[in-house]
Structure 1
Amino acid sequence: MRMLICGGGTGGHLFPGIAVAEEVLDSVPRSEVLYVATERETDAKVLRDKPFPFVVLKSEGIKGKTVRQKLGALLRMPASLWDAWRIISRFRPDVVLGVGGYVTGPPLLAAWLRRIPTCIHEQNSVPGLANRLLGRLVKRIFVSFPGSEQRFPARKCFFTGNPVRKEVRALSGGEKIGDNFTLVVMGGSLGAHSINTMMMEAAQIMRTTVPAGFVVIHQTGRQDSKSVRQAYKEAGIPARVASFFSQMPFVLAKADLVVGRAGATSLAELTVMGKPMILIPYPHAADNHQEINADWLVEAGAAIKCREDETSGAELAALIVELADNDRKRREMADRAHRLGEPAAAKKIVRHCLDLCGDNAIM
């Protein structure tokens, strides 16, 4: 099977695509994968060491843009479609999978015009604009949250869960790495300035209240790494701070508690690994999907939700200390999170893609 996977711009779109690509290469004889990504630095950083090639497609989104930017994106669309057509002509895929982001549109449209089987994966509880439009064209739609199929043609929808990378699956359900109590703070692959700010305030309060052996691992994004590192230093809290951790699954394996956003891919990895969470949904996410993502885990007892505009650093500090001191509560949250995980999501998607390919699947 020759599979073309398109999507990117954030880790939330890249990592599910990578998980499916890895599963194809591991489980389908004589298979090949080509990944179509955006021009963003994040895409190249994440994809450069993977066991499959990737190409960059120039394209632009329109949601949340000014009128002038939207016009520019629309004018660019024919060139993007032509570039996607040429990529497909060279690679000759048997199936094309879109995993989210504006870069998915041109390859899926080009494949549809050439009658190549197409499918999409929707990570979030509320589908984005691109996937809602593409859902009318593709053969199959894979969803990650119960209820999101209501926004697509029902006959095309299949619940698979959100694919997670091999490294995450390998660490699923295993013992925590390390003896210290470890708090992992993450704002997604691009960081989160407001979470960084709250944690800098919280650090000054926690300096005298956290248990012995308390350490922090904090992914800040490029903007705040120096100031966050200094805040922990001044508070006397041992901390490992970086703008980006390329081996995040191994970082999460050390976590006793995680503070972060409620992006679907992060939640998928955290549930598979069975980690208790304090979630601070990004308030400006499209269609408020992070809030809805978080509610799913809160209702299951796997997470606690804090609204960004209603939570101070002091309140966050108090919640972290409360959970750090309550092993029973954390274990209960971890168990409920683990029950929600879908470690076989990538396998399910690959099976569907093999079915779409028919006789071409193992040629």
Structure 2
Amino acid sequence: MRLIVAGGGTGGHLFPGIAVATAMRERVAATRVLFIGTSRLLDQQALAGCGFELAGLQCGGVKGLGTMQRLRSLLRMPGAVLEAMRMLRQFNPDLVFGVGGYVTGPVLLAARMLGVPIAIHEQNSVPGMANRLAGRLADKVFISLPCVPPFPPAKTVRTGNPVRREILAAASEKTPWPERSTTLLVLGGSQGAHRVNLLVMEAMEQLARQGRALHLIHQTGGADEEQVRTCYHKLGIDAEVTAFIRDMASVYARADLVVSRAGATTLAELAVMGLPALLIPYPYAADDHQATNAEYYVKGSGCRMLRESGLTGEILARSISEYLQNPEELHTMSANMKTMAMPDATNRIVDECLQLATRKGWHG
């Protein structure tokens, strides 16, 4: 099997692709995997040590850009498609798997022109522009949550969001909440979230004044790492501060409550781990999709959503304290998160991809 995974730019795009590629390589002997992504450092960090072949494609998005920037991106598109065709001819894939991000478009268009089978995965409840267009090209569409607007029903399968196998393993070993010390995990997405960082620092100052003891693990992104570390040191807070967390499984295993943005991949991982969360959706996400993601888990009583508008450090501190002082409620929320998990997502996607490739002429 020769598999191309196309997309990147965020962990939410990359990690499902990594999970599927790893499972495919284990399922089918001698599978070769090529990731076609961006040149961002995040892509390199996330893929480091995975053993996949990597290639970068120079292109740009169009949504949210000014007129001139959009025009420049559109002018680069034909060249990106030609470059993608060159990569595909050289690698000769049996299947192209798109995970979202602007890199996906040229690669999938090239795959369609060359007659290569296409599958895509949409992590969010509101499809991004790239995947809305990709849905027209794809032979099979996998979704994590009910999508609005929906993809064509005939080729859509709700599989859930692929979760990395080390996180699945950690979920099976996680100690129940009451038996462990109080640990708060703060996540701003793979690139960090400046406003979340500020709110949590303000909240920790409030909790420190109240003498509330807890252990803090805070993923800040590169820009705020030193500021956050210095703040907690001055407050005397027991904290682990890092720009980027590679071993999410061990961090999830130690957490009791999470403060997080509402990216779909993070939410899928929290559900598998049974981790309750205070969700602060990114207010400028395309089509406000993070809020829609969060609403799904809030309706299932596994999380609480706090809108960034109007949120203060004092309000956040009160919410954190309220939940950490109520282990029974956390236990209930944890169980509710587990009921919304779809831990078999990766295997289901691999099954569907193999069937698709076989129908299109692959002989395993």
Instruction: Specify if TM > 0.5.
Output: yes
Q: 1:158 & 1:121 partners in 2: Cα distance?
A: 10
Letter in structure 1 aligned against 2:166: E
Q: Give the aligned partner of residue 156 of structure 2.
A: 157
Measure the CA separation in 1 of the matches of 2:149 and 2:334: 29
Report what 1:187 is aligned to.
Answer: 188
Identity %: 45
Alignment-mate amino acid for residue 277 of structure 1: A
Q: Which residue of 1 aligns with 2:50?
A: 50
Is contact 2:189-2:260 (8 Å) kept?
yes
Count the aligned residue pairs: 361
Unaligned 5+ residue runs, structure 2?
none
Q: 1:156 and 1:19 mapped to 2: Cα distance?
A: 22
Residues in 2 aligned to 1:179 and 1:295: alpha-carbon distance in whole angstroms: 29
Deviates more, 1:174-183 or 1:14-23: 174-183
Query: What's the Cα RMSD here?
Result: 1.5
CA offset at residue 156 of structure 1? 1.2
Is 1:73 equivalent to 2:73 in the alignment? Answer: yes
Structure 1 residue runs of 5 or longer lacking an equivalent are none
TM-score, normalised to structure 1's length? 0.96
Aligned with 1:217: secondary structure?
Answer: strand
Deviations 1:3-48 (A, max 9, x none): 1110100001000000000110111223221111111110011112
Deviations 1:144-171 (A, max 9, x none): 102x175211111100000011111111
C-alpha distance in structure 2 between counterparts of 1:252 and 1:172, whole Å: 8
Which of structure 1's runs of 4+ aligned residues deviate more than 3 A? Answer: 176-179, 208-212, 359-363
User: 1:168 maps to which residue?
Assistant: 167
1:272 maps to what in 2?
272
C-alpha deviation, 1:204, in angstroms: 1.1
CA contact (8 A) 1:207 1:235 kept: yes
CA distance in 1, matches of 2:172, 2:270: 11
Tell me the SS of whatever aligns to 2:127.
coil
Per-residue deviation, 1:339? 1.1
**TM-score with structure 2 setting the length:** 0.96
Provide Cα deviations, 1:124-152, integer angstroms capped at 9, x if missing partner: 00001111111111111101102x17521
Whole-Å Cα distance in 1 between the matches of residues 330 and 227 of structure 2? Answer: 30
Alignment of 1:34-183 (within 5 A): 34-146=34-146, 148=147, 150-176=149-175, 179-183=180-184
CA distance in 2, matches of 1:150, 1:63: 17
Deviation at 1:251, TM superposition (A): 1.1
Question: Residues 86-123 of structure 1, C-alpha deviation per residue, up to 9 Å, x if partnerless?
Answer: 11011100111100000001111111011111111000
1:331 aligned partner: 331
Matches within 5 A, 1:202-213: 202-209=203-210, 211-212=212-213
CA contact (8 A) 1:211 1:325 kept: no
How far apart are the structure 1 equivalents of 2:148 and 2:197? Answer: 34
